Every structure is written in C-alpha cells, then in structure tokens.
Chains A and B, each alone.
Chain A
Amino acid sequence: MGNKKGGNDLGKIKGFSIQFLPYSEIRTLSSDERIRKILNIVLGNNILILQGKLKAEEETRLIGDTMAMIDHVKNFKGIELAVIGGNGEESVFFKMKKGLANALSGGDMSAITIIGPASIVKEIKRNPKKIELLLNG
C-alpha cells in the first residue's frame, strides 16, 4: 500500500497512503531496526498503523530520532503518534501497565499504534472513548 516516493520528498503533499504493519514484521528486529523501519515508512508519506505497541524506551527513542531527522531531512517536521489500547473504558495508566507487562515479550497485541508524518497528520485527538485523526488540508 505504501508509495515509493522515498525519504526526502515530504514538502508538498499530493497524497498519502495508509500502511498496516503486523507486529510479526518487527518482532525479531532490534530496537534500532524497528525504529528505522517505522521512520522509513513514515518518511515515505505513509500513515502507519502498527499492530501492537513499542516498548516505553523505544517510544522515546522514536521521538529522539525523529527530532534528529528534522534537522537533516528537508521539509520533515516530525510525527504524530498515538497508542490505542484494546478497551476504551480503561484508564491510560492501566493500559500503560499492561503495555509494560508486555514490554519484554514485546508488542501488547491488544494495542494499535498510529504514526504519521506531521506534514500529513495535523493532530490525533483522543480521549478515552474516541480517536480522531485530523489531516492537513
């Protein structure tokens, strides 16, 4: 589903793709490789829907690497990121705890992670019961 525009063409968005990534695709990868794979997809003007979630420290590394790329990839402004748990009634902390419990085995399959380039995804609005993906017009 992803397009082949490459990583340096994020300036004027003419379209975008939504790419689904099953967790099995990244399960055996190291943290470095996971983050690189995710960023490559996002830099290709794709909104990534990842089955499961990253480890807590991988999320911060993703943010750190994103910041480093803003300085080096033309027109890249960063990402929008949201992790959605399985049950909308759960508190953020409960989901987080479950995420941590699953962190070592990797994944938390009941979660979904949405990551998109900030040039396409303006905002991911969320409250416990609703998720809205607002795109740049």
Chain B
Amino acid sequence: MVVKILKNFFSRMFSSLFKEGNKEIKMGFYGPPNAGKTSLANRICKDFTGEEIGTVSKIPHETRNVQFKEQVEIKYKGKSMMFKMIDTPGIATKIDYEDFLKYKVNKNDAKKRAKEATQGIIESIKWLDDMDVVVVVLDSSENPYNQVNITIIGNLAARDIPVLIVANKIDLKKADLKKIESAFPEYETVGISARTGKNLEDFYEAVFRLVKKR
C-alpha cells in the first residue's frame, strides 16, 4: 500500500515537472495600431517555424482578430524556449470609418473594417489577463506619450505581467529611441526594425531576460 502511494506520488511529481518544462510561454504583442506588432511576430515566426502569423498592411487595423502561433521554439546562443505567440489587434480609443477611405478602401469595406476593428480592440483587452509576458511594440518615430501606451503598460503592471518595450522602425529617419526610453525608464527597451531585421539579436536576448522575470 505504502509503496503504491509513493509510486503514485513520484509519478505525479515527475509528470508535472515534465509538463511544466514543456509548457509554452504565452507571449503577447500589444501596442497601438500600425506600430509593427504583426511585422515583428511574423519575423520571429518565420525565423523559427518558417511560417508567418498574419498579414501586414499600411492601412491601420489590418489585424482585427487575435492571431496565434503555437509551438514557436526560439533558439538563441544555445538557449531555447517554447512560446505561444499571440498577436493582438492594435488598441485605440477611437475608430472612424472615414479614416480608411484615405487608403482607397470603398465605403462599405471601410465601415466593415471599422466595425471589425472595434471588436478586435475589445478582444485585445480581454486577452490581457491571459499573458505570461508581453512585448509592447511602439513606433519609435511617433510620440510615446500617448494615453493608449500608458494605459496598456499600466494594466500590465497592475497584473504583474513582465513587459518588454520594443521601439520598432528604428530604420526611419524620424526614429527617436531615447524618447521612448525616457518615457518608460523602468522597462527594458530594445530598438529594432522588424522590416529590416536590425537588432533582432538584442531582441531575442531581451526576451530570454523577460521570461526570467515571471
């Protein structure tokens, strides 16, 4: 009887250790629209799985549903970790279908896109609770003192979810990495270009540091 109990105990213990070791880390990509969340997630997924997570476009709110890619094993300098990548629609406080008309989208499609975008934002917010770590992607050529950025980061801080700030688009002339660093001095900020792949090595190193903060 005692032997059986001990056997069951060790079996459960090793089984849970094994599961924990293989557990995917849920890594969310959050930020305002058009900051390059999907571009970055695509680059990571392409590097490690050969497949992309979603489509990118110059039109804001291209990502209007939460997109996933499971079993993404990031390997860097001998280290390896398994992630579930969660790419979220950009969060905004206003949506006007007329803004899409500037991109030669017809009126009906613009209205449909606006409606889907509002639902996408609601979905993004709902997912905040489910993340293990979050990469907040900001456009380094834009002013970081934007309430949406502050609200997202404030929410993650309140939930004790580790945050890495990515200052994307550092290949642009207007990019200002220091401005983003000074807006959020308590967080590690990595300047990258998801489009060109610049500084992706720094990003991967920062991701491994981020996971340790959990």
Contacts and interface: CB of A to CB of B under 8 A. Distances in A.
Interface of A: 55-57, 59-61, 63-64, 66-68, 70-71, 77-83, 91-93, 96-97, 99-100, 103, 118, 124-128
Most chain A CB neighbours (cut-off 10 Å) among B118, B125, B147: B147
Indicate the member of B94, B118, B185 with the most A CB atoms within 10 Å: B94
A64 B122 contact: yes
Interface of B is mostly: helix
A128 B145 contact: yes
B150 A79 contact: no
B35 interface: no
A42 to B, nearest CB: 11
Contacts, number: 100
B183 to A, nearest CB: 5
- Chain B interface bracket (under 10, 10 to 19, 20 to 34, 35 or more): 35 or more
Interface string B149-169: 011111101100000000000
The 9 closest A-B pairs by CB, nearest first: A78-B94, A118-B94, A67-B118, A56-B154, A56-B158, A93-B186, A77-B96, A59-B151, A126-B145
Given A68-B118, A92-B184, A60 B155 contact: yes
Given A60-B128, A100-B154, A126-B145, A78 B115 contact: no
Nearest to B154: A56
28 contacts: A55-B158, A56-B151, A56-B155, A56-B158, A57-B155, A59-B151, A59-B154, A60-B128, A61-B125, A64-B121, A67-B118, A68-B118, A70-B114, A77-B95, A78-B94, A79-B94, A83-B147, A91-B184, A93-B153, A93-B186, A93-B187, A96-B154, A97-B186, A99-B154, A100-B154, A100-B158, A103-B158, A126-B146
